[in-house]
């Protein structure tokens, strides 16, 4: 199989384009996705290629954008919406939570609601309390919403294609740190591929401690692991890639092997992603643990445009957490 190098942002656009070519039912909808090329040029060129009826520029009406996706999906389309910044998801809760996630079941299996919401995690850019936070556990809490957190170009393309074909609502998180091309190149197959939901990827094998990390936490954990290697600590880095469904088995197997667990997440700590993962490990693999579980997360205070450097997890915090239990 041939391989090619691609940037994260281009991998996402390639997934969108391929799925739009493959299935005329796929539409892209959101603020600025057409003429505006998407907030950070992710959807560049799609409007010109597929036209205004399949790449739909909307008014600033988040709730109705997502509500319209619910209707369009029920009617047989496969909408991919863009909600520009992750905290704006607060505006779309009703159609997503009270309708999209439940309709298949409460209709007695009559309808499905296949839709994807791409949303940007814009941490570390001084974007402020209503643009910067990362909220993933909100949606992990709701049955039958898919929560997808790709950290590499390979994962982004393969998972987005799967999400578009999936019959449930999917939230697809993209981190702003992944958008610049040069530091975010990766290899993908020339040929078409998809990645199943609920399948974690071990980004680095190790034997002394398991780090479960998501989004930018993966990269930071890998660099922390390199430094910890110098201190003789051999770290395994597990990237769940999707938080719902969650690949519990890969996490449990890793913890059973290493006996130690650190969770690296950039959402707020309380009732966050790590809380769920820690609970699963405590319930199902307590006897394998040689030390307490540690969580490295964003401090539980509102984000301001100047405080991120003090409250977001960084490499130093990861190294400290690992050393605390090793």
Partner 1 sequence: MNLNKNTLIEIYRNIVLLRKLDEKLIELFTAGKVPGWIHPYVGQEAVVAGVAPHVRKDDFFCATHRGRAVHVLKGTPLRKFVAELLGRKTGINKGRAGEMHVMNWEVHSVSSGIVGATFPMAVGFGIACKLEGGDKIVFCTFGDGASNRGTFHESLNMASVWKLPIVFICENNLYAQFTPSKLTTSVSDIAKRASAYNMPSTIVDGMDPIAVYEAVGEAVERARKREGPTLVECKTYRYHGHFYGDKWETYRSPEEVEAWKKKDPVITFKERLLKDGVLTEKLVEEIYNDVNSQVEDALKFAFESPEPSPEDVYEDL
Active-site residue set: 131
Question: Can you give 100-162 as a three-state secondary structure string?
Answer: HCCHHHHCCCCCCCCCEEEEEECCCCCCCCCCCCCCCHHHHCCCCCEEECCCCHHHHHHHHHH
Q: Does 141 bind partner 1 (CB under 8 A)?
A: no
Give pairs for 271-279: CB < 8 Å, separation 24+. 271/137, 272/136, 272/137, 272/297, 273/136, 273/137, 273/140, 273/214, 273/243, 274/212, 275/137, 276/137, 276/140, 276/243, 276/246, 277/212, 277/240, 277/246, 277/251
Q: Does 95 bind partner 1 (CB under 8 A)?
A: yes
Q: Which residues inside 205-224 make contact with partner 1, applying CB under 8 A? A: none
Q: Say whether 55 sits in a helix, a strand or coil.
A: strand
Give the number of residues in contact with partner 1, rule: CB under 8 A: 37
Exactly one of 6, 12, 46, 56 binds partner 1 (CB under 8 A); that residue is 56
Burial class (CB in 10 A: 0-12, 13-18, 19+), 292: exposed
Give the nearest distance from C-beta 53 to partner 1 in angstroms.
6
Give the nearest distance from C-beta 43 to partner 1 in angstroms.
17
Give the nearest distance from C-beta 321 to partner 1 in angstroms.
37
Exactly one of 6, 12, 27, 263 binds partner 1 (CB under 8 A); that residue is 27
Q: Does 74 bind partner 1 (CB under 8 A)?
A: yes
* Distance (Å) of CA 312 to CA 45, 153, 223, 253, 296: 35, 23, 16, 28, 9
Give the nearest distance from C-beta 108 to partner 1 in angstroms.
4
Nearer to partner 1, 73 or 262 (CB): 73
Exactly one of 103, 154, 173, 179 binds partner 1 (CB under 8 A); that residue is 103
Give the nearest distance from C-beta 54 to partner 1 in angstroms.
8
Provide the mask over 144-183, with x wherever binding to partner 1 is found by CB under 8 A and - wherever it is not: x---------------------------------------
- Contact footprint for partner 1 (CB under 8 A): 27, 53-54, 56, 58-59, 61, 63-77, 79, 94-95, 98-99, 103-111, 144
């Amino acid at each position: 199989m041939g391989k090619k190098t691609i940037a994260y942002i281009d991998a996402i656009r390639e997934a969108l384009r391929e799925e739009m070519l493959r299935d005329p039912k796929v539409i892209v909808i959101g603020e600025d996705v057409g003429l505006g090329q998407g907030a950070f040029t992710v959807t560049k060129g799609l409007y010109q290629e597929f036209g205004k009826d399949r790449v739909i520029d909307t008014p600033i009406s988040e709730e109705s954008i997502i509500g319209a996706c619910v209707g369009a999906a029920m009617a047989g389309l496969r909408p991919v919406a863009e909600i520009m910044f992750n905290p704006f998801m607060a505006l779309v809760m009703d159609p997503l939570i009270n309708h999209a996630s439940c309709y298949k079941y409460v209709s007695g299996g009559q309808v499905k609601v296949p839709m994807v919401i791409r949303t940007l995690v814009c941490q570390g850019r001084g974007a402020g309390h209503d643009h910067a936070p990362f909220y993933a556990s909100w949606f992990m809490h709701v049955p039958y919403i898919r929560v997808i957190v790709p950290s590499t170009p390979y994962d982004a393309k393969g998972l987005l294609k799967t999400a578009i074909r999936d019959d449930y609502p999917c939230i697809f998180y993209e981190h702003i740190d992944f958008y610049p091309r040069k530091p975010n190149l990766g290899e993908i197959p020339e040929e078409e591929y998809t990645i199943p939901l609920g399948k974690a990827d071990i980004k680095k094998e190790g034997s002394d401690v398991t780090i479960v990390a998501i989004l930018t936490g993966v990269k930071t954990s890998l660099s922390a692991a390199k430094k910890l290697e110098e201190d003789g600590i051999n770290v395994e880095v597990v990237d769940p890639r999707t938080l719902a469904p969650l690949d519990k088995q890969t996490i449990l197997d890793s913890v059973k092997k290493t006996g130690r667990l650190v969770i690296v997440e950039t959402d707020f700590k309380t009732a966050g992603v790590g809380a769920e993962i820690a609970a699963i490990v405590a319930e199902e693999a307590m006897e394998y643990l040689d030390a307490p579980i540690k969580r490295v997360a964003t401090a539980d205070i509102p984000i301001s445009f100047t405080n991120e450097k003090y409250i977001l997890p960084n490499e130093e915090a990861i190294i400290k957490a690992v050393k605390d239990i090793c």
